[in-house]
Each structure stands twice: as C-alpha cells, then as structure tokens.
Chain A
Amino acid sequence: MLNVEQIAVTFNEGTPDEKRALKQINLELKKGEFVTVIGGNGAGKSTLMNVISGNLIADVGNITINDKKVEGLAEYKRSRFIGRVFQDPMAGTAPSMTIEENLAIAFSRDKLRNIRPGVNKKRKEIFKEYLQTLHLGLENRLNARVGLLSGGERQALSLLMATFTEPEILLLDEHTAALDPARAELITDLTTEIVKKFDLTTLMVTHNMQQALDMGTRLIMMDQGQIILDIGEEEKQQLTIKDLMNEFQKIRGHQMVSDEAVLG
C-alpha cells in the first residue's frame, strides 16, 4: 500500500547547522497494517510523516501509495488519499465553522468541490451516524462552532474527519500527546476502533512507548534518521518497555537518552 524507498532529507545542507534528518529510509506497509513509530527527539519521525504527506519534499527517493508515485504531487493533491491528524487539537478543524460544515469539508476530500450546498439533509444524516460512533453527544450539536469544543472533542472530531472517507493512508502525528490522560485514552480507544472498522493502513508516531506497544500490528523504532528496529505483531505482544530499552542499547551501544520517550 505504502512504499517508501531510499528517502533522504538533509536540512541546511552545506552550513554548520547541517542535519541529516532522514538517511536512506526504506519502509513498506501492507494494506491494513497499523504501524507505530517511536524514537527520541530528532530521530526523524516527524520528518518521515511530513515527507509522506507532501508537507516536505525529500532530497532523493521514491514514495508510492497504492502503486501511484506521489513524490511529485503537491500536499493538497496527496491529501485526497492521505488522512492526517496533527498533535495540536486546534490544527485539524476550522474553529469558526460549525461541526457539520467541518464534516462537509472532510466529506469532499476525495471528490471535486462543486457549487452545490456542502451540507444537505442526506449528508446531515450521514454525519450524525458517524458522530454517534464518538459517544460524545456531538451528533446533537451539528450547528455548534467547533471553536467552542474542548481539546478532546476537537481531536475526536479531527480523527473522525481524517478517517471517515476511508483514505488509503492514515498518518497520526502524536495525536494524543497534547491531551490530558483521560482524553488521551479516549482518543487512543477511538483510534483503535476506527482503524479496525475501516481497515486503514496507518502510520502512528508516538512518544509513549507503552502506547506503541499496546496499539497496532507492527512497531518501528527510529534513531538519528534511520529505522533501527522493526518488530512484527507476534513478537510485539511479548515485548515490554524494558525490552525495547535493552534492544536500543544493544543496537546503538549506548543507553537511550531521551527520558520523555519513556514517559510520553
């Protein structure tokens, strides 16, 4: 489904600040695979996400999604078949517009936008049905401005908007990191539920090792712009955070420095 080949990105090349954010990354995701990505700050997780979403252009390498070459496609064109949820709960929705209007925007993602009303009776029913799956009562507040919702509600809505058109790839960029523990758990549960329901091919970046172990069907660990560990579903179920830390030390020859990677 998603094929990342030989992707390399260097920032500030030729200056003292030069940083090789990604060094020849290779990654292949099969249809329906749910991969969690962990790694310390500066490991290249976000850069990888940005390269796939088209927010950033790679220096070299190929990206194919569902056998389509995408590296020349602008971000907005790729987003026809890539759903994204950002870390910032404010980033994924339009605050001054209503819930139904936001959903209508997301609903038009994979279609050509037209001069016909974005919200109609039929769509309202569809939106209500989808909102019910969030169990937040938002289906009764279709005309509420999204800016009035709490961070958790907004992130739940963002998640729904990113997924209900069943994109070919779903990118989650630490989408629970900015929420309080209770809200984060809600979004985590919703994510598992939604990804399963739509059978979405998913790449999820997280700082939280436990989350990375609990969720998904595969785990990769990144460090200094490389994928240093790739663990399949069965092996992943046996793993603990301690095993991951030891594994890191074995590969890198030094202890994992970033405490926040453990604590999330």
Chain B
Amino acid sequence: MFLSLFGAVETGAIYAIMALGVYLSFRVLDFPDLTVDGSFVTGAAVTAVMIMNGTSPLMATVLGALAGFLAGCITGIIHTKGNVNNLLSGILMMIALYSINLRVMGSPQISLMNDDTLKTQWGDIWDATGIDGVLNGMLETFGMEKLPSTWGIVIIMLLVIFLIKFLTDYFLKTEVGLALRATGDNQRMIRSFSANTDVLIILGIGLSNGLVALSGALIAQHGGFSDAGMGIGMIIIGLASVIIGEALFGAKTIARATFAVILGSIIYRVVVTFALRADFLEAGDMKLITALLVIIALVMPKIVQRRKEKRRRLAKRRALETEVSEHA
C-alpha cells in the first residue's frame, strides 16, 4: 500500500513535466496539441540512443528535450504558416513522429539496463549521502515493514518539477509570456498590439513539446527502456492531470494552476495505481480508466453546478411560498 503510493508519487512527479507541457498548449494557448503522443517518445528515443552511443546522460536528456521542442515548432509552423487546423496539424505531426522515432531507435524497443543514466548517476550520489538509511530507519520505528528502495528519485524529481514550475510561472509573466497568453485568449487583440501571433504559437507549442520530451527522456531512464508505443494516449494522461488538478485545486492564478497540474499528475497516478489493484482490472485497462477519469472530471463539475443551481432556486421558491402563505 505505502509502496505503491510511493511509486505513484515518484512517476507522477516525472509525468508532471509532461502535464505542464500539455497545460501550456491546451490551456495557455488554447491549442489541443496531439503532437504530445509522438514527442514524448521522441524525447525518450533520442536520449536513449545517445546514451547507448556514449553521450553523457545529462547532455542526452537536454538534446532529447530539444528534439521535442523542434517537433513542436514544426506542428506550430504547419498550423500557422500552412493554415492547417490545429487539431489536424498535431495529429499529422504525431503520425510523422511515429516513423521518425522508429528510425531514431532502429528497433521498436531499446533497453538502457546496462548503461549509465541520470538515474544510476544520481543513485550513486544519493547513496553516498546515506539519507535513505535515516528515512527508512524512521519509518521502521513506526513499525513499517515494506520500505522503499530509495528516496532519492522522489526527492530530486519533486525539486526538479518545482523548479520547472517556477520557471514556467516566471516566463508566463514576462513580456513575451503575457503576449503568449494573450494569443491563447484573444488573437485579434494581441495582433493590434504588435505581437506576431504566428511566432508566438510556434514558440509556445515548441516549449510545450520540449517539456513533454524532457518528461519522456526521464521516464525512459527511470524505466530503463524506450519503446515506440510508450507515447500512446499520453495527451489524454496530460489532459487528465490538468483537468483533475484544476477541478480539485482551482486555476485562479498562473502559479495556482501550474501547482494544480503537478498535483493532478500525481493524483492521477495514485488513482490508476489503486484502480489496477482491483482484481477484475488488468494493466491493459489503464487507457480505459484514464478516458473514464477525464470524462468524469469534465462532466462532474457541470453536474454539481447544475444541482447547486437547482437547489438554490428551489430554496428561493420555498421561501417565497412561505412568505405568501404567511400574508394570506
């Protein structure tokens, strides 16, 4: 129980980078960008291949993210310069990336089990600190038996994701960031204030997919493999994180919204982990659970709102009736 929760937070924090990317395109730019399914794998594939060829894991990760950024830029170019519908440009890029990813990897799956990755490098540094022993020792005194093998990843990933969150928050409040947000809000207005909406959309979708690819690169190193199919349904997972987070924690300000997206990603992982513990569900049902989760998260707030409205009106009507009967 504790261990699966622990694992959910760990992977949730890595996927949260991807969810922030989806937030950028889907919410900030109002651009439902399906490139994500492909660019996630692109990040994983480029990083994995470079690590196998002896590039330093850090460099490989950065280049993986960069590859995703370029893929996103191309989606943006297809949409703005080619005047192609935004949904369609994302789908086209996603399909194109599937082939490109296979080319990059050379085979549908490659393993990193025998290579040095950011995970193993960080593991060495972390082990030297001996913090695991201290934390697990504390848990043992509380009587816990099954203990996590390392705390290192959860801690570094939470640090990384919050660093990315603060950078995103800062960026969205800069002059360029404000123009980017206005592009998603009112294109006509921002064009009348000398902003080149085409360039902003290309940049925004690029940044979004850069984050997605970074997430893919880290997942590949975390799991020790890259697979051509690992990106399937990624956009829906990202959406689930954004929508669950916003529904539970609100999105009044940018800082609040990005925080909500991160928590949404972690909660999504927790929910899926628990759902999969049910006997009648298999690992393959995960996408179905995700789709249902997104539908519920989209529909529930509306139902709740409608019921509230109804109750409010009913209360008002009753108050009026009693008032009338009192007068009579």
A binding-site residues for B, Cβ under 8 Å? 53, 74-77, 79-80, 83-84, 86, 90-97, 101-102, 104-106, 108-110, 113-119, 161-162
A76-B191, A109-B193 are known contacts. Are A94 and B186 too (CB-CB below 8 A)? Answer: yes
By size class, the interface of chain B is 20 to 34
A90 CA to B185 CA, complexed, in Å: 11
Given known contacts A94-B190, A96-B185, A109-B194, what 14 new A-B pairs fall within 8 Å (CB)? Answer: A53-B192, A75-B191, A75-B192, A76-B196, A79-B193, A80-B194, A91-B188, A93-B186, A94-B182, A108-B194, A113-B179, A118-B173, A119-B173, A161-B193
Q: Which residue of B lies closest to A113 (CB)?
A: B175
User: A117-B173, A118-B173 given as contacts; is B178 within 8 A of A97 (CB)?
Assistant: yes
The answer to whether B191 touches A118, judged by C-beta atoms less than 8 angstroms apart, is: no
Report the 5 A-B pairs with minimum CB-CB distance, sorted nearest first.
A94-B185, A113-B175, A94-B182, A118-B178, A80-B194
Residues on B facing A (Cβ under 8 Å): 170-171, 173-179, 181-182, 185-186, 188-197
Known interface pairs A91-B186, A94-B185, A95-B186; A79-B191 also in contact (CB < 8 Å): yes
Q: A78: nearest residue on chain B (CB-CB)?
A: B194
How many A-B pairs have beta carbons closer than 8 Å: the answer is: 86
Please report the C-alpha to C-alpha distance between residue A101 and residue B177 in the assembled complex, in whole angstroms.
10
Q: Which residues of B have CB within 8 Å of A77?
A: 194
Known: A76-B196, A119-B173. A97 touches B191 (CB 8 A): no
Task: Give A237 Cβ to nearest chain B Cβ, in Å.
Answer: 33
Q: A114 to B174, alpha carbons, bound, how many Å?
A: 7
| Nearest chain A residue, comparing its CB with the CB of B252 | A145
Interchain CB contact under 8 A, A97 and B197? no
CA A74 – CA B198 in complex, angstroms?
Answer: 12
- B182 neighbours in A (Cβ, 8 Å): 94, 97, 102, 105
Q: Bound complex: CA of A80 vs CA of B193, how far in Å?
A: 7
B178 touches A105 (CB 8 A): yes
> A114: which of B176, B181, B192, B197 is its contact (CB, 8 Å)?
B176
Which A residues touch B176, using CB under 8 A?
A: 113-115
Given known pairs A77-B194, A113-B195, the reply for A118 and B177 (CB within 8 Å) is yes
Closest to B197 in A: A76
Contact in complex: B178, A106 (CB < 8 Å) = no
Measured CA separation A104–B172 after assembly (Å) = 13
